[in-house]
Amino acid sequence: MAGLVDVVLGGTFHAAVLFLVAAGLQLVFGVQKIVNLACGSFYALGAYFGITAVSIAISLGMPPLMFFPVLIVAGLAIGLVGFPIERVLRTIYRRDESYQLLITFGLLLMFQDVFRFLWGATPRTMDNVYLAYGTAHVLGVRVPTYNLLVITASLAIALGLGAFLERTKIGRIVRATAENRDMAEGLGIDASKIFALVFTVGCMLGTVGGALVVPSGAASLDMAVELVVESFAVVVIGGLGSMRGALVGALIVGVMRAAAISLMPELEMLSVYLVVVVVLIVRPAGLFGKAAA
């Protein structure tokens, strides 16, 4: 029982972060129809920048308990790099998918060396703050309170994003642009502004995800390329372009990995890809995707 709770909690923590990145990927794919391979770089960028921001904050005399909001603000702030990147990407929206994949692949390569230049090749950790909030007991299992905070924050972001897309005027415009760009422009919407907004928000989701995960682990050069395939798995399982799909997909991948790690470590990622393959064969559009995109 305790083992099961452990797996579910660990998996959910991972899923919470994975959801943020995957949600960014979904948002950008839904509106711009671009599969953004650089989403992993945004995640890594958030992680590295989060470490720097927290260490600056602590050296300025901020109490360690403040590091959680610092991380969120740092993630949001560095997410603004999405804006100039969108300027570059906008020239290829109407080109073939292979070019879109390649250009974001190029960005991924470039980012990797930017991290190496700015933060060095050895993994960076953020010490002494992970357990600043202590540990909590959930159904007889001890978990760092921080993990629960991240899960809550991620859920809040999911709900907020949903409300933004469903309830607000801009959200409606975003959905209309996603549905039919030309028609939306015909109705007087400035699609390029919407694209810039959507890409920046998508980028922020990734950087916040990275910033939130880093206290529990380390920021390393490999994390970008590794996360790309994982968030791909989430998106494929959930269905391209669907927010609900990202949430469910992230939970499946997160819990699946946690279960595999505790039962058969060799199957850690293998199990995830197996699920992906099965989903693609049985329901190529994913669990929540629209048929035949």
Partner 1 sequence: MSNHSIDIAGPSAVRRSMPRVSGLWVLLGLIAIMTMMPLVASPYALLLMLPFIGYSIALLGFNLLFGTTGLLSFGHAMFLGLGAYTAATLTSKFGVLSFEVLLLTAALVSGLVALVTGALCVRYTRIFFGMLTLAFGMLFHSFLFKFYSITGGDQGMRVLRPLLLGMEWRGGKTAFLTGPFYYYALALFALLSIAMWRISQSPFGLHLRAIRENAGKAAYVGVEIFRMRLAAFVVSAIYGGVGGTILAVTTGLADPELAYWTHSGNLVFMAVLGGSGTFAGPAIGALAFVLLQDFVMSITQYWRFVMGGVLVLLVLFMPQGLSGTIEALANRRRGGR
Residue numbers of the site for partner 1 (CB under 8 A)?
35, 37, 88, 91-92, 95, 97-99, 101-103, 105-114, 116-117, 225, 228-229, 232-233, 236, 240, 265-270, 273-274, 276-277, 280-281, 284, 293
For residue 34, list its beta bridge partners. Answer: none
The least CB distance from residue 47 to partner 1, in Å, is 18
- Contact status, residue 245 vs residue 30, Cβ threshold 8 Å: no
- CB nearer to partner 1: give 113 or 179: 113
Nearer to partner 1, 113 or 190 (CB): 113
Asked if 281 and 265 touch (Cβ cutoff 8 Å), the reply is: no
Nearest approach in angstroms of CB 147 to partner 1 is 25
Residue 14 Rama label (left phi>0; alpha psi -120 to 50; beta)? alpha
Question: What is the closest distance, in whole angstroms, from the C-beta atom of residue 197 to partner 1 in the complex?
Answer: 23
Nearest residue (CB) to partner 1, 189 versus 229: 229
Q: Kindly report the CA angle at 34 between 18 and 12, in degrees rounded to 5?
A: 10
Nearer to partner 1, 150 or 236 (CB): 236
Contacts of residue 135, Cβ cutoff 8 Å, sequence gap at least 6: 142, 143, 144, 145
Helix axes 2-32, 169-179, angle to 10 degrees: 70
| CB closer to partner 1 out of 130 and 273 | 273
Coil vs helix vs strand at 259 = helix
CA distances from 32 to 74, 196, 206, 291 (A): 26, 10, 17, 18
CB of 194 to partner 1, least distance (A): 22
60 vs 291 by CB, closer to partner 1: 291
Least distance (Å) between residue 56 CB and partner 1: 25
For residues 159 and 228, what is the distance between their CA atoms, to the nearest angstrom? 24
Q: How far is the CB of 63 from partner 1 (least distance, A)?
A: 38
Q: How far is the CB of 103 from partner 1 (least distance, A)?
A: 4
C-alpha to C-alpha distances, 80 to 26, 43, 228, nearest whole angstrom: 18, 13, 20
Closer by beta carbon to partner 1, 1 or else 281:
281
